[in-house]
Chains A and B, each alone.
Chain A
């Protein structure tokens, strides 16, 4: 068998006595067999991902995990691993016989991403299978998980270079969770409200558009879509940018109060839109090559920010 056929980096780590002890300590807090199994495996999954991150030098704040609280263990199914100054990962255990990873909806909220961890039958070692920045179903087939390196890109955000999108250098590739629009699932193909000379007209989709599902608070994911078009064909032309937030399949309207902001390089909001029981909202503006801007979504206390360079 040739190992070169394995596309993804998969890391196999030992499950140590210390990890088992911790899992055992937690499961003794519970009585029902299903809960005991869940708490045991969730604990091991969190500890394995923590041990990988420790090895490569990423600091975690495991003690602050809500999964370490007995009442949270009893009242929900979550496996949270907080990363220092970065937000939390959800670490989901997979048993050997399963071809998919179960990610309960109650664990979707407030996570910067999800990691699938496969345990072996004897609970001697575990394989870190992959990463996803967001999920839109409770069961995710194992072949849909992205390489674990994607997680590292998410922990080191840097501006996304939009010219690479415009020049079609990126193709079908997923970059920081941004996917080709055809690969996204949403109720209907988006149309863009393109405001020109004070009139609002529907135009065809921009030359390039890519989208990314985002999980905010405890809501199902919303889709963020970014469209780009050159105003004129020449090389140095300004670029029109559309930003749209819309509901995914499982929702009728955007979370109330959700705000979409465009930030200048100093981080000041220069444009914004707010959701009011609508299925989508959008803003559009234009910029010149080399310009940097940020897109921020704000929902209550939660913020999501990504920066782009034209």
Chain B
């Protein structure tokens, strides 16, 4: 799609949204389609990246973009098709309003860095080979201890109907070990839906108790 097409489609969507009641299904659909075009528009992201000079890093850019999208949707009635295209309106708002807002918002977050270099953002590659600097005992370690100890014996006593060996404690520990449900089901010879139904009901019941313990 050439630029003119995108601009004319975005203009059409913006004007359509202006005629639709706030909060209506129709307006939300129109805004969704507008967001689709706006957020995929290569020209906008290129111009924005260029104008931002990436001097303050991706954080400011991301923060400003998010604010821009929310603003455009909430203030679509302010769009004046005789004064600018949606693209130019968006660029103007980005450069004159949201970059500064984003910098102000982020300054307390990035300030503590002694080196002056903002902390590097975590990527998928980092997550693939991560060893988090967790403060041991981490809450999940403490949760394991709590479940293993089972001071009042409830987790050992609670089991799947007709299967006294399949206790809630056993299932909780398997899940803490990241065992897949499929494997748990095979290991214990219990159907997946039965396991899920039981586990989910019990987890709902126990979550307040677990959370209270972890917050101690």
- Contact A75 B106, CB 8 Å, known A16-B59, A40-B127, A149-B32: no
Taking residues whose C-beta sits less than 8 angstroms from the other chain, chain A's interface range is 35 or more
A219 within 8 A of B: yes
- Which residues of A have CB within 8 Å of B139? 29-30, 70, 74
- Distance of A250 Cα from B196 Cα, bound (Å): 13
**Nearest Cβ in chain B — how far from A40, in angstroms?**
6
Main secondary structure of the interface of B (DSSP, over half): helix
Query: B184-195, CB under 8 A of A: which get 1 and which 0?
Result: 000000001100
A11 and B203 contact, CB distance less than 8 A: no
Inter-chain contact count A-B, CB under 8 Å?
198
Asked whether any CB of chain B lies closer than 8 Å to the CB of A10, the reply is: yes
Chain A residues, CB < 8 A from B127: 36-37, 40-41
- Interface membership of chain A positions 77-117, coded 1 if the CB is closer than 8 angstroms to chain B and 0 otherwise: 00000000000000000011000000011101100000000
A31-B172 Cα distance, complex, nearest whole Å: 16
Residue tally, chain B, CB below 8 Å to A: 68
Q: Give B196's nearest chain A residue, CB to CB.
A: A218
Supposing A30-B132, A75-B203, A123-B124 touch, asked if A105 and B192 sit within 8 A by C-beta, the answer is: yes
What distance in Å separates the Cβ of A252 from its nearest Cβ neighbour in chain B? 9
Q: Which residue of B lies closest to A73 (CB)?
A: B140
B157, CB-defined interface residue at 8 Å: no
Q: In the complex, are the beta carbons of B211 and A69 less than 8 A apart? A: yes
Given contacts A29-B139, A71-B207, contact A13 B39 (CB under 8 A): yes
B32 to chain A, nearest CB (A): 6
3 tightest CB-CB pairs across the interface, nearest first?
A71-B210, A14-B62, A9-B36
What are 28 A-B contacts with C-beta separation under 8 Å?
A18-B63, A20-B122, A24-B122, A28-B133, A28-B138, A31-B141, A32-B140, A33-B131, A35-B140, A36-B127, A41-B127, A57-B23, A69-B207, A71-B214, A72-B207, A75-B143, A75-B175, A75-B176, A76-B175, A105-B192, A105-B196, A122-B121, A148-B32, A149-B32, A149-B33, A156-B25, A218-B193, A219-B193
